[in-house]
Structure 1
Amino acid sequence: MKRVNLAILAIFCYLSACAQPAADTNRYTRADSLRGGLRPERTSYDVLFYDLSLRVDPTSRTIEGSNVIRYSVVSAFQQMQVDLFANMTVRRITQNGKPLTYRRDGNAIFITMNEAQPVGQTREITISYEGSPTVAKNAPWDGGFVWQRDSVTNKPWVTVACEGTGASLWWPCKDHLSDEPDSMRIRVRVPNGLTCVSNGLLQGQRPVGPDQTEWSWFVHYPINSYNVTLNITDYAHFADEYRSPDGQRLQLDYYVLPVNLGKAKTHFEQVKGMLACYEQYFGKYPFWRDGYALVETPYWGMEHQSAIAYGNKYQNTPFNFDFIIIHESGHEYFGNSLSCADHAEMWIHEAFTTYAEALYMECTQGAARAQTYLNTQRPKIRNEYPMLGPLGVNADQPDTDIYYKGSWMLHTLRHAVNNDATWFAAIKALATEKKLSIVYTDEVIDFLTKRTGADLKPLFNQYLRHAELPVLEYQVVRTEANDWSIRHRWVANVQDFALPVQIRTGAGNWQTIRPGREWTTSSLGSAPGALTINTNIGLFGVRRLPTE
């Protein structure tokens, strides 16, 4: 797993979930608590390795196989929880070759151990299973398998995306973001003539019987459960490489429909420039040993670790980049390498990755163009729910503010720090020092606060824990000496919220005012002219009161 104290995290999640308003938790079910909660049946063991072996039958739309779960015993236990959707059939569960008894509670399986589980010891269980996994109604937003055919070759085209819905819709695992294996093996048998692309590094392929081929992949790094994937069709493959400024070479692999091979070779050239920009801002690509891959899928895209799902039909945005390549690759740094511990904290994945799109623009086209790009995100901000959800209940995000509001929050923090060298050093340190680790919200806040030397906690608390935007309330007043001043204050949920703001009068220079929660006054001079407030550098509302 990525190193995190499961016992402490369980207490943290329990207390945080209890602290949420009742309105947030009433809509969650027992199944949500079983999936999202950390109880002793989960925290008592730490997953070290998954060995997933499957046979996929595109004709019957079924899968069957097994998963070996190797784990370290954190605290002595008699029961452990593993997750697998109720529509999937468990054939048997064994330890040391002996059958184990188990009971189901919806999508959760509680397994009773036959033998003592001594603290610090390493143990394995094997779960054999089969079934027809959930079919996605609208992948990737609605999780499940996609069973299609290549319209040109008429060969099966099978993929899966399960973020939110859960990896346990198709394979048995501890389906909680707080625990990841240190590594994983994935072996998939498919009909001859088809390729199976999964995560990690291809170990090889071998015939199995007269009509099947087994593809074997190995993930050398921690991987969260929803990132585990498979992609099956008659893929055309080509390779390239990215060379880091220090000379190190990264393998790039592309798996596309044969009819798209020519356009893919041209279109995917932008990957190398993207990797160079992200290395500048976030450090080296974090899964170097496994390589980087794009795999064509019939759905739009998903950040599957080292095997990114690509279905954007080789189109660039008006800003001259492919959104899926730039966004989903950003998740390799934020979401796959640096990962949150609970679905309620998915802002960590999406805010930083959406902000990375703007940084890519700044890297390739300059700051002004990046600001233009950010301004296209701003109208999509809804301000209806806090970005930080209730913990411990497998929270789902009701809107897209964790993307666009999250991006603008980070843009605002950059200007609050008011020192780009400091800000970008802090962001890079977060990505590199927390690489391959699980983090939670307060840890991120504390890290950036310490590294920038700025008091960012009130700003984070306002944007993450409250739906409403802070509002700059101001009034232009004339003094007894016939000069002009601006009275200003912040109307915000957080008591110590404070954010510097740039203003200018007429065609003059920008000046910085520093409103607080109480009314204060700044001079505008003898002839203020039209007053402009720079809303390009901060996410806030503005309310002007009548002039006195």
Structure 2
Amino acid sequence: MMKNSTHCILFLIILFGNFTAFAQIKARTYSLADTLRGSLNAERTWWDVQRYELAFKPDYINKTIAGANEIMYKVVKANDGKTRMQIDLQEPLIIDSIWYNGKLKLTFEHVGSVWYAHVPAQKITALNRVKIFYHGSVHQAKRAPWDGGFIFTTDSLSRPWMTVACQGLGASVWYPNKDHQSDEPDLGASLTMTIPDTLVGVGNGRLVLKKNNNDGTVTYKYNVQNAISNYCIIPYIGNYVNFKEEYPGEKGKLDVNYWVLDYNLNKAKTYMPDQVHKMLKSFEHWFGPYPFYEDGYQLIDASHTGMEHQSAVSYGNKYKFGYLGRDMSGNGWGIKWDFIIIHESGHEWFGNNITTKDLADMWVHEGFTNYSETLFVDYIFGKQAGNEYNYGIRKGIRNDSPIIPAYGVNAQGSGDMYPKGGNMLHAIRHSMNNDELFRSILRGLNKTFYHQTVTTVQIENYFSKTAGYNYAKVLDQYLRTTQVPVFEYYIKNGEVFYRYTNCVTGFNLPLVLKKEDVKTLKIVPSGEWKHSKLLSGQNALLTEAAIESMYYLDVKTKK
């Protein structure tokens, strides 16, 4: 995740040596703007977003947009008419007017990218609306999706192509909203775009309106029934064509739509469905039913590498296996499938279904979704392949700063949330030695926190409670420190002596070591020396390479 634009495949930058943002994170000081974006203050907490009705018109030539967002909200705290409503819209965009319930024009003021509307007194539980009209030059992404913003570009035939990538940077970079992850529109959203009639507009969810305006423009309206993160509401505008199918999923028939540039149609028809079917089959096995059957699943050609936009996943991997044809694991397994289709779709469960309230807890999105790659490889190619893939991506871990940073300031933790988060989960899975239990936890998370925003503490507590083992210190170690735990051991007189060092007090990751025709060895090291009797053949289980291949530890044999 970049300082200005969170993106769900940032750890690729780490692996290929083009990573700069997180080297500065420890020294970062937080501004008033960071606090206003990242905190839940009095101007935000009295109202709860119920729905967004967003409409806009882009001007490709002048690189501007104009539009309106009608926000339906519920009053959840007493408002005596003196409390302001904070609306986020980033410069250089400008709010023109704000209307309350379609009748009262509100006064407003702003400080930078934060706009304060003066609203009348409202009763608790009341449902009201504000409609915000805006326009202006929009912040453009220069290196999408890494820096984020509106994207005005061309396809390979030099025709206009427009979209947005704004995770981390914030949806307020292109439309007015409450720009905080904790408050998703509970009743969904609509996206209406008026564009040249030579182009096609695609959005999240389902197309509910297409209208030719007989003036050289056409209007498309898409509707999302489910709650959705504001950064996931994204337009795709270009020379798209569509093909579709019904996938027989756990909850019945799932509508799957593929939107590709016209010249990609033939190869897309033979390439995309194969990867999508394998993704859905494996992820519904591990995580439970696809979370947005009502809105369907869409895979859409994009001008950047890809993003996890809910029910409208963007795809820019150039129809190549691996990441743009490169093997992320370095051992062959990462080049047998399309990284973008699998990873970005994994976010439909972790990131879109389960969303963190604070940006600081983004490891819940990225760690679990990174691990979804391992689970995909495991399901399609076998457990040993999954083990090898997971070990291979470990080379991307930097331990430059903690995965969880400061709360309330719109801060994003280390990019280690990807490979280190995935390796942490793999270590916990091995320590449980019960894949059915582990799978039930993953499915249980998606059922228990279905369409909810959560905190790290909720995820940690659920994991430990359902596993029947307290993993709090294990999670604390990997999420909140940069130390790699050291496992020390030696064998003497038929016993193994062992302990953990370089770790938080109470670190208690169990180690389960297995090999065919040898009785499984399970030990639970601590910070003090312990010892266990070894049975026949168990000496062979205790090698540095064998332990490190399964667990993210620094293993040392003491002489």
TM-score, structure 2 length as denominator? 0.88
Aligned residue in 2 for 1:471: 486
Query: Do structure 1's residue 532 and structure 2's residue 543 form an aligned pair?
Result: yes
Task: Measure the CA separation in 2 of the matches of 1:164 and 1:351.
Answer: 16
**Cα displacement (A) at 1:491:** 1.3
Matched, 1:102 2:108: yes
What is the alpha-carbon distance in structure 2 between the residues aligned to residue 238 and residue 351 of structure 1? 32
Following superposition, the deviation at residue 240 of structure 1 comes to 1.5
After superposition, the Cα gap between the structure-2 partners of 1:415 and 1:502, relative to the gap in structure 1 and judged at 3 Å, is: closer
**How many Å separate the matches in 2 of 1:525 and 1:510?**
9
Q: d(CA) in 1 for partners of 2:430 and 2:164? A: 40
Q: How does 1:128-143 map to 2 (within 5 A)?
A: 128-143=133-148
Deviation at 1:304, TM superposition (A): 0.4
3-state DSSP of counterpart to 1:272: helix
* Deviates further, 365-374 or 514-523: 514-523
User: Is this contact kept in 1: 2:151–2:162, CA < 8 A?
Assistant: yes
Q: Which residue number in structure 2 is paired with residue 458 of structure 1?
A: 473
1:52, 1:68 within 8 Å by CA — same for their partners in 2?
yes
The number of equivalent residue pairs is: 514
SS of 2:70's equivalent in the other structure is: strand
Any idea what the Cα deviations from partners look like across 1:138-195, whole Å, max 9, x if unmatched? 111211111111222x320011100111100000000000001021111100011111
Establish whether residue 446 from structure 1 lines up as the match of residue 438 from structure 2: no
1:474–1:486 CA contact under 8 A, matched in 2 = yes
Write the mapping of 1:505-524 to structure 2, written as runs, cut at 5 A. 511-523=521-533
Structure 1 portions without partners, runs of 5+: 1-22
For structure 2, the 5+ residue unaligned runs are: 1-24, 323-331
Kept in 1: contact 2:86–2:114 (CA 8 A): yes
Per-residue displacement from partner, 1:448-496 (whole Å, max 9, x unpaired)? Answer: 11111111111111111111121112344x5xxxx25433211144221
SS, match of residue 336 in structure 1: coil
Match of 2:19 in 1: none
Q: Which amino acid aligns with 2:93?
A: M
Q: Secondary structure at the match of 1:535?
A: helix
Identity %: 38
* Partner of residue 68, structure 2: 66
Q: Specify which of 370, 378, 382 is matched with residue 386 of structure 2.
A: 370
Q: Which amino acid aligns with 1:494?
A: V
Counterpart of 1:488 in structure 2 is 498
Paired residue for 1:11? none
Within the candidate set 379, 393, 406, 1:390 is matched to: 406
> Secondary structure at 1:290's aligned position in 2?
coil
- Distance in structure 1 (CA, Å) of the matches to 2:447 and 2:247: 19
199-208 vs 342-351, greater mean Cα deviation = 199-208
Aligned ranges 1:73-92 → 2 under 5 Å: 73-77=75-79, 78-92=83-97
Distance in 1, matches of 2:234 and 2:290, equals 20
Q: CA deviation at 1:529?
A: 8.0
TM-score for the superposition, normalised by structure 1:
0.90
1:42 CA displacement:
0.5
Residues 1:306 and 2:311 aligned together: yes
**2:109 is aligned with 1:122:** no
Could you say what secondary structure the match of 2:543 adopts? strand
Instruction: Tell me: CA distance 1:525–1:94, structure 2 relative to 1, closer, same or farther (3 Å).
Output: closer
CA contact (8 A) 2:430 2:512 kept: no
Which AA in structure 2 matches 1:515?
P
Aligned: 1:50 with 2:64: no
Helix, strand or coil: the match of 2:294?
A: helix
Change (3 A) 1:222 1:503: closer
The one-letter amino acid paired with 1:400 is G
Q: 1:117 & 1:471 partners in 2: Cα distance?
A: 58
Alignment equivalent of 2:507, drawn from 497, 505, 520:
497
- CA–CA distance in structure 1, aligned partners of residues 230 and 512 of structure 2: 45
Question: 1:2-17 maps to which residues of 2 (within 5 A)?
Answer: none
Whether the aligned pair in 1 keeps the contact of 2:430 and 2:511 (CA below 8 Å) is no
Contact in 2 for aligned 1:25/1:390 (Cα 8 Å): no
TM-fit CA distance, 1:508: 6.7
User: 1:487 corresponds to which letter in structure 2?
Assistant: F
Q: For the aligned residues, what is the CA RMSD?
A: 2.0
- Mapping 1:126-525, distance limit 5 Å: 126-152=131-157, 154-182=158-186, 183-244=188-249, 248-269=252-273, 270-317=275-322, 318-319=332-333, 320-397=336-413, 399-476=414-491, 478=492, 483-502=493-512, 511-523=521-533
